[in-house]
Amino acid sequence: MTDLALIARALFTPGKGVLAADESVHSATARLASYGIPTSAEMRRQYRDLFMGTEGVEQYLSGVILFSETMLEKGNDKKLFPESLAARGILPGVKVDLGTEPISTSPQELITQGLLDLPERLAEYKKQGAVFTKWRAVVRIDGDQLPTAAAIHENAKRLAQYAKEVQTAGLVPIIEPEVLLEGKHSRARSRAVIEEVLGTLFSVLEEHSVDLTSVILKTSMALSGSESGKKDTPEEVAEDTIAALMQSVPRKVAGIVFLSGGQTSDEATANLAAITRRAKEVHAPWPLTFSYARALQEEALSLWGGKEENVLAARTAFLGRLSKVSAALG
Ligand code: 5MM
């Protein structure tokens, strides 16, 4: 097994998963504001510290995805965040895409930016202690109109170029083609889109000679759209999600992590439990775990409210959610 494949495997240590703490300045500001928390660079640092500074997270976290700003900041323990994580046996990773912009020929769809100076930035992140990276593409469903094949293909090409550059730099790539929950679509449509997106992605990765043994897929679950009026049972989500993955993801892939994508904390936990059960039933070939942001953060953020006196209660809630999500891995 290569060194990169070993790092990828370590992210799937049984009972552990990945905290996504890589919100850009724009997303972190919006997240804090939505909980009535004041927004500033210092509040963003405290927001990161609330989670990463929680005693005992190493029981549940194999890795944390950081935002570039956080790579250079210190927690309340006066250690740089990547160093503090590594000292507790948690692998530090970093989001390296630079966000999305509308596609000129299909303005309702998005293309992810960030390839131009990627090799230089990867060298810096590696010096700062990152051992893995993440790039997110966004896929919007609208009836049979969206996504277009052209948008799926262009995002796949960029994900493949990113993954190749990252492996060349000696880091593990997480590839995240997020199929959005927003919309009126059915779960069947979500499953079909996930299959199409992943089918295209893995064929383009192969064209770019990306080594799949150190690639981690971060995927959405197959869910009915948030405006469909339908609430799926965890068993329905699990059946369609695992079917889509079995159809489209090569056995060689190092592992699959799930995003929570706007589900509540309880939904994301119950759906993960059903998915891991279903994966065992059908002998799915890859290790699975979580890579949640919102579903791990929401209870703690409501309790915290940006106030020092609430830190302990917020951290207790965070650890409680981590323990439930870890238990969902079976
Ligand atoms: C889909 O978002 C990723 C997973 O988070 P959820 O579990 O909340 O769905 C997450 O890693 C996302 O990529 C980051 O929060 C960064 O997002 P932005 O929009 O700030 O680049």
pLDDT digits 0-9 by tens, 114-134: 999 999 999 999 999 999 999
Contact in structure between 288 and 14 (CB atoms under 8 Å): no
d(CA 269, CA 325): 5
Name the residue of 216, 257, 259, 301 whose CB sits within 8 Å of the most ligand 1 atoms, as the mutation to test its pocket: 259
Which one of the listed residues 23, 154, 165, 176 is annotated catalytic?
176
Contact in structure between 58 and 90 (CB atoms under 8 Å): yes
Lining ligand 1 with CB less than 6 A are: 20, 22-24, 27, 65, 95, 99, 136, 178, 259-261, 292-295
Contact in structure between 80 and 125 (CB atoms under 8 Å): no
The parent domain of residue 222 ranges over: 3-327
What proportion of the chain, given as a percentage, has pLDDT over 70?
100
Number of the ligand 1 atom closest to the C-alpha atom of 67 = 16
Band (pLDDT 50/70/90 cuts) for residue 312 is very high
Report the domain count for the chain. 1
**Strand intervals (E) in the chain:** 17-21, 61-66, 91-95, 100-103, 106-112, 132-139, 172-179, 216-219, 255-258, 288-292
Residues 155-191: pLDDT tens digits? 999 999 999 999 999 999 999 999 999 999 999 999 9
Q: How far is the CA of 21 from the centre of ligand 1 (A)?
A: 8
pLDDT at 258: 99
d(CA 201, CA 160): 8
Q: 230 an active-site residue?
A: no
Q: 218 an active-site residue?
A: yes
Band (pLDDT 50/70/90 cuts) for residue 261 is very high
Q: Which residues are within 8 A (CB) of 4 and not within 5 positions of it... i.e. 6 or more apart?
A: 167, 170, 171, 172, 211, 213, 214
Band (pLDDT 50/70/90 cuts) for residue 282 is very high
Q: What is the mean predicted confidence (pLDDT) over 284-299? A: 98
For tokens 């593990």, name the residue.
172
pLDDT at 310: 98
pLDDT at 149: 98
What is the domain-level CATH number for residue 275?
A: 3.20.20.70
Bond before 147 cis per omega within 30 degrees: yes
d(CA 213, CA 171): 13
Q: Which of 219, 319, 330 is nearest to 277 (CA)?
A: 330
Q: Which of 31, 98, 42 is nearest to 70 (CA)?
A: 42
